[in-house]
């Protein structure tokens, strides 16, 4: 009864909204009677901590939408904090890195999810609504950056004045440049003794053709130069260009799941405006929803009743199915179709891994958790798969290894899921007899007993910047990882440029970026190297399938594809790790590694019943019982391969070999 009543009210409200639009009776701000007018008189602080908010006070020319983009750790989140404080959105001296809300972000000290905040700023006696999007710096999250940029007309390009232009500075600059955004260059960390802002400004001119005098100089730490940032945004970033009189057209650029409110969609209102009570249609599916709440993030969600042309905010529609909120989709008013916005390029998975629940019966819970997490990260590809050893699970595609690690950490921390993952792998293409080509995303799909004429693996075009003195060590590392040097160049003359060294371009197999590549790169360059990559062509390579067998039976979840020359070395390491981790069984276990069916390594585990109470001397019965119970509990978490019980820690341990 209640939902029906609610639907009826929503329908009446929508009909009234449409009628008003048609009759020209639309009264901006009427739905906002509860919002207090913005306090006047304060120059640069009209914040939301004490003040009110009326979106209709901000016509398009008083709106600016911009992102902060930079290389990792150049200070985006710290600068965003300062801008939030400056405009009164948050209180000074509060929580640092306010927009990095996720536990994983705080623990790792990196941004993984773009965050939006609307600020009100008074400049020369006029109030402006500035929508800021703080973006991640790491290459694995560049999809977040490109998505965020679609809702912006400008970008603050931040560069650490001590480190200069780095690999992701270049990558992010081109993302913004390709989308025709106004770029406001900011040299940050000028307070550092090692800062050389003049040299970096010169570098900006050389690399990006940005006039040196256009670079702002700031310290997000000490606050130096911050007062110039927002005036520069207002002056250099154009207002959004949409048609305020046109039919409402919304770009859905992000979404997340809120435990109380359900699916929350972040939108830019490209044309027209949207109000609570409107009925909207998603252009991709034709599904229709009633808008139950509209508002801005200041940075917490605040209902405003409507959003006008060019504004960025959130919309809640009671979407139940997380997959219905398709990031990149165009929304319009019910029965008022509009031309669809270009949306986003689908992301291309670079790394794949199988994800399985640790307990067999936990599949549904894992599926629900994955669904909710994928809503906040549209770049993850998910397909169901089954493993003989691990049961029902998923094969997921990620943009890189860090992306995968962060996803797994979020699954555990935010959704309480406990999972086993297979070793990450890349997609391979196999040439079979008869001209047939087979794509595999899982090593256990690599056919055995069939003649494979050729295996093609993906490569990346890697850009590495590092000081010249580390060039030799870098070349050795890339050669060990089967890389081919394509080009290298110096950034230009000058002390800083010499110190920062050359750009080096390598074609590297994507599979070789796994494991310890980043760690080695950082350690060989004393932390100075920076790395970025783009997708390269596929390359033919001598690759084989490596299997781990227990008493003659392959463990499908542990199969991997390796280079022929490394098969024995990896096989031995896997057998040794299996021997150490498996724990003795009641019978002898033969552990073998086979490359394309031929044994390349072997270990034998002698029969033994593990006596977990051996260390408990005397008659401490309760302690013995506790240990035996824990052993029983552990057995539940075992996976059976033939007659061998494999504890799940073994899977975790072998993924890292
Ligand atoms: N000395 C100095 N340190 C700064 C300044 N701005 C930021 N930092 C420090 O630099 C480190 C990285 O800052 P973040 O704001 O997390 O950098 P980020 O670009 O958001 O990092 P990612 O999100 O991981 O890409 C932190 O330890 C900050 O305290 C500055 O102007 N001066």
Q: Relative to the CA of 134, which ligand 1 atom is closest? A: 20
Q: Is 349 annotated as a binding residue?
A: no
CA 91 to ligand 1 centroid distance, Å: 19
- Cα dihedral 628, 633, 634, 636, rounded to 10, equals 130
503/287: higher pLDDT: 287
The 10s digit of each residue's pLDDT in 302-329 is: 888 899 999 999 999 978 776 778 888 8
Nearest-CA residue for ligand 1 atom 32 is 189
Nearest-CA residue for ligand 1 atom 8 is 75
CA 305 to CA 278: how far, in whole Å?
10
- pTM for the full model? 0.73
For the chain, give every domain's residue range.
2-236, 249-333, 351-421, 430-537, 544-655
Half-sphere exposure of 202 (CA within 13 A, CB side): 11
388/570: higher pLDDT: 570
CA 76 to CA 158: how far, in whole Å?
7
Longest dimension (CA), the chain: 91
Q: Which of 74, 75, 109 to probe ligand 1 with, by most ligand atoms within 8 A of CB? A: 75
User: What ipTM was assigned to the predicted interfaces of this complex?
Assistant: 0.98
- Report CA torsion sign: 220, 225, 231, 236: negative
First to last CA, the chain: 59
- Please provide residue 382's backbone torsions phi and psi, each rounded to the nearest 5 degrees: -130, 130
In this structure, how many other beta carbons lie within 10 angstroms of the beta carbon of residue 164?
A: 26
Name the burial class of residue 341, with classes exposed (0-12), middle (13-18) and buried (19+) by CB atoms within 10 angstroms of its CB: buried
* Residues 6 or more apart in contact with residue 620 via CB below 8 angstroms: none
* Residues 6 or more apart in contact with residue 100 via CB below 8 angstroms: 77, 106, 111, 115
Candidates 293, 317, 318, 319; CA nearest to 306 is: 293
CA 535 to ligand 1 centroid distance, Å: 28
Residue 89 pLDDT exceeds 70: yes
112/245: higher pLDDT: 245
Q: Is 418 annotated as a binding residue?
A: no
CA 554 to CA 641: how far, in whole Å?
8
CA 72 to ligand 1 centroid distance, Å: 9
Q: Domain 2-236 is in which class?
A: alpha beta
Mean pLDDT of 340-363: 80
Residue 540 pLDDT exceeds 90: yes
Q: Is 137 annotated as a binding residue?
A: yes
Residue 523 pLDDT exceeds 90: no
Mean pLDDT of 586-611: 83
Q: Is 188 annotated as a binding residue?
A: yes
Q: Which of 67, 70, 77, 78 to probe ligand 1 with, by most ligand atoms within 8 A of CB? A: 78
Residue 548 pLDDT exceeds 90: yes
Lowest-confidence pick of 179-193, 333-347, 635-649 = 635-649
CA 69 to ligand 1 centroid distance, Å: 12
Q: Is 480 annotated as a binding residue?
A: no
Q: Is 75 annotated as a binding residue?
A: yes
**Do the domains spanning 430-537 and 544-655 agree at the CATH topology level?**
yes
Average pLDDT, the chain: 81
CA 77 to ligand 1 centroid distance, Å: 7
pLDDT at residue 36, rounded to an integer: 35
Q: Let me know: does 567 contact 520? Beta carbons within 8 Å.
A: no
CA 49 to ligand 1 centroid distance, Å: 25
CA 52 to ligand 1 centroid distance, Å: 31
Nearest-CA residue for ligand 1 atom 13 is 75
CA 648 to CA 577: how far, in whole Å?
13
pLDDT at residue 503, rounded to an integer: 65
Peptide bond into 299 cis (omega under 30): yes
Reported for 451-455, long-range contacts at CB under 8 A and 24+ positions apart, including other chains, are: 454/430, 454/540, 455/428, 455/429, 455/430, 455/431, 455/540, 455/541, 455/542, 455/543, 455/561
Q: 544-655 maps to which CATH number?
A: 3.30.70.2570
Q: Is 138 annotated as a binding residue?
A: yes
Lowest-confidence pick of 81-85, 375-379, 512-516 = 512-516
pLDDT at residue 229, rounded to an integer: 96
514/366: higher pLDDT: 366
Strands 216-217 and 182-188: parallel
CA 313 to CA 31: how far, in whole Å?
16
CA 221 to ligand 1 centroid distance, Å: 8
Q: Is 28 annotated as a binding residue?
A: no
Residue 482 pLDDT exceeds 80: yes
DSSP letter for each residue of 327-354: TT-EEEETT---PPP---PPP---EEEE
Highest-scoring range by mean pLDDT, 179-183, 410-414, 527-531: 179-183
Q: Is 554 annotated as a binding residue?
A: no
- Report CA torsion sign: 120, 121, 126, 129: negative
Candidates 361, 380, 358, 362; CA nearest to 371 is: 380
pLDDT at residue 90, rounded to an integer: 77
Give 450's pLDDT tier (boundaries 50, 70, 90): confident
Nearest-CA residue for ligand 1 atom 12 is 73
Q: Relative to the CA of 158, which ligand 1 atom is closest? A: 19
Q: Report how far apart, in Å, the C-alpha atoms of 266 and of each of 2, 8, 375 are.
A: 28, 26, 12
CA 105 to ligand 1 centroid distance, Å: 13
CA 114 to ligand 1 centroid distance, Å: 16
26/230: higher pLDDT: 230
Nearest-CA residue for ligand 1 atom 21 is 73
DSSP letter for each residue of 527-575: T--EEEEEEEEEEEE-EEEEEEEETTEE-GGG-EEEEGGGHHHHHHHHH
Nearest-CA residue for ligand 1 atom 2 is 189
CA 340 to ligand 1 centroid distance, Å: 38
Half-sphere exposure of 266 (CA within 13 A, CB side): 28
Q: Is 546 left (phi over 0), alpha (psi -120 to 50) or beta?
A: beta
The 10s digit of each residue's pLDDT in 278-300 is: 999 999 888 899 999 999 988 88
Over its C-alpha atoms, the chain yields an Rg (Å, rounded) of: 28
Q: 430-537 maps to which CATH number?
A: 3.30.70.240
Q: Is 184 annotated as a binding residue?
A: no
Residue 652 pLDDT exceeds 80: no
Ligand 1 pocket, CB under 6 A: 70, 72-78, 97, 110-111, 136-137, 188-189, 191-192, 219-221
Give 376's pLDDT tier (boundaries 50, 70, 90): confident
Q: Which of 69, 72, 77 to probe ligand 1 with, by most ligand atoms within 8 A of CB? A: 77
Q: Can you read off the two tokens belonging to residue 177?
A: 């440049």
In this structure, how many other beta carbons lie within 10 angstroms of the beta carbon of residue 611?
A: 12
Residue carrying structure tokens 């906040």: 376
Q: Is 449 annotated as a binding residue?
A: no
Q: Let me know: does 562 contact 544? Beta carbons within 8 Å.
A: yes
Q: Is 136 annotated as a binding residue?
A: yes
Residue 397 pLDDT exceeds 80: yes
CATH superfamily ID and name for 351-421: Elongation Factor G (Translational Gtpase), domain 3 (3.30.70.870)
The 10s digit of each residue's pLDDT in 194-237 is: 999 999 999 898 888 899 999 999 999 999 999 999 999 999 99
Lowest-confidence pick of 254-258, 356-360, 420-424, 555-559 = 356-360
Candidates 26, 6, 134, 38; CA nearest to 80 is: 134
Q: Domain 249-333 is in which class?
A: mainly beta
| Percent of the chain predicted with pLDDT > 70 | 82
Residue 628 pLDDT exceeds 70: no
Highest-scoring range by mean pLDDT, 38-52, 141-155, 639-653: 141-155
CA 13 to ligand 1 centroid distance, Å: 47
Lowest-confidence pick of 113-117, 167-171, 412-416, 453-457 = 167-171
CA 49 to CA 40: how far, in whole Å?
15
Q: Relative to the CA of 70, which ligand 1 atom is closest? A: 19
CA 656 vs. chain centroid, Å, equals: 22
Q: Which of 68, 72, 73, 224 to probe ligand 1 with, by most ligand atoms within 8 A of CB? A: 73
């Amino acid at each position: 009864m209640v939902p029906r009543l609610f639907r009826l009210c929503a329908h009446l409200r929508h009909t009234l909204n449409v009628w008003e639009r048609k009759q020209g009776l639309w009264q901006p701000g009427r739905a906002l009677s509860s919002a207090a007018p913005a306090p006047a008189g304060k120059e640069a602080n009209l914040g939301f901590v004490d003040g009110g908010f009326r979106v209709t006070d901000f016509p398009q020319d008083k709106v600016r939408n911009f992102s902060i983009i930079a290389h990792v750790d150049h200070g985006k989140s710290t600068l965003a904090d300062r801008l939030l404080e400056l405009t009164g959105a948050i209180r000074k001296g509060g929580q640092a890195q306010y927009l990095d809300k996720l536990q994983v972000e705080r623990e790792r000290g990196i941004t993984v999810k773009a965050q939006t905040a609307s600020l009100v700023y008074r400049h020369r006696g006029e109030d402006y609504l500035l929508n800021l999007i703080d973006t991640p710096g790491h290459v694995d999250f560049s999809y977040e950056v490109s998505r965020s940029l679609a809702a912006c007309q400008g970008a603050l390009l931040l560069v650490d004045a001590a480190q200069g232009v780095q690999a992701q500075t270049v990558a992010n600059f081109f993302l913004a440049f390709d989308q025709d955004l106004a770029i406001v260059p900011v040299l940050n960390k000028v307070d550092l003794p090692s800062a050389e802002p003049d040299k970096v400004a010169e570098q900006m001119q050389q690399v990006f053709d940005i006039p040196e005098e256009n670079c702002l100089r700031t310290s997000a730490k000490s606050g130096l130069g911050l007062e110039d940032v927002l005036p520069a945004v207002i002056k250099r970033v154009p207002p959004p260009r949409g048609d305020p009189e046109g039919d409402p057209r919304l770009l859905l650029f992000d979404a997340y799941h809120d435990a109380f409110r359900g699916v929350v969609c972040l939108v830019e209102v490209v044309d027209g405006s949207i109000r609570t009570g409107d009925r909207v249609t998603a252009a991709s599916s034709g599904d229709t929803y009633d808008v139950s709440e509209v508002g801005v993030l200041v940075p917490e969600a605040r209902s405003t009743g409507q959003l006008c042309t060019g504004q960025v905010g959130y919309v809640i529609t009671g979407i139940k199915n997380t997959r219905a909120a398709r990031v990149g989709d165009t929304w319009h008013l019910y029965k008022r179709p509009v031309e669809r916005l270009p949306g986003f390029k689908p992301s291309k998975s670079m790394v794949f891994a199988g994800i399985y629940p640790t307990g067999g019966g936990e599949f549904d819970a894992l599926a629900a958790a994955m669904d909710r997490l994928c809503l906040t990260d549209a770049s993850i590809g998910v397909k169901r798969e089954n493993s003989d050893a691990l049961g029902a699970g998923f094969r997921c595609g990620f943009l890189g290894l860090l992306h995968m690690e962060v996803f797994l950490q979020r699954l555990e921390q935010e959704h309480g899921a406990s999972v086993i993952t297979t070793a990450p792998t890349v997609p391979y293409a196999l040439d079979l007899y008869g001209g047939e080509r087979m794509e595999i995303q899982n090593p256990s799909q690599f056919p055995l007993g069939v003649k494979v004429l050729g295996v093609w693996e993906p490569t990346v075009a890697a850009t590495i910047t590092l000081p010249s003195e580390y060039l030799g060590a870098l070349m050795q590392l890339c050669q060990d990882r089967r890389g081919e040097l394509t080009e290298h160049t110096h950034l230009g003359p000058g002390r800083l440029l010499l110190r920062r060294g050359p750009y080096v371009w390598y074609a590297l197999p994507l599979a070789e970026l796994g494991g310890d590549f980043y760690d080695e790169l950082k350690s060989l360059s004393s932390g100075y190297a920076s790395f970025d990559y783009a997708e390269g062509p596929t390359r033919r390579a001598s690759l084989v399938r490596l299997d781990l067998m227990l008493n003659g039976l392959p463990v499908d979840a542990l199969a991997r594809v390796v280079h022929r020359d490394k098969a024995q070395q990896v096989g031995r390491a896997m057998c040794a790790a299996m021997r150490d981790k498996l724990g003795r069984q009641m019978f002898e276990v033969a552990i073998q590694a086979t490359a394309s069916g031929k044994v390349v390594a072997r270990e034998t585990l002698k029969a033994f019943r593990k006596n977990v109470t051996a260390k408990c001397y005397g008659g401490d019965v309760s302690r013995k019982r506790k240990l035996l119970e824990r052993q029983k509990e552990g057995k539940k978490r075992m996976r059976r391969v033939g007659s061998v019980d494999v504890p799940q820690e073994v899977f975790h341990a072998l993924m890292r070999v």
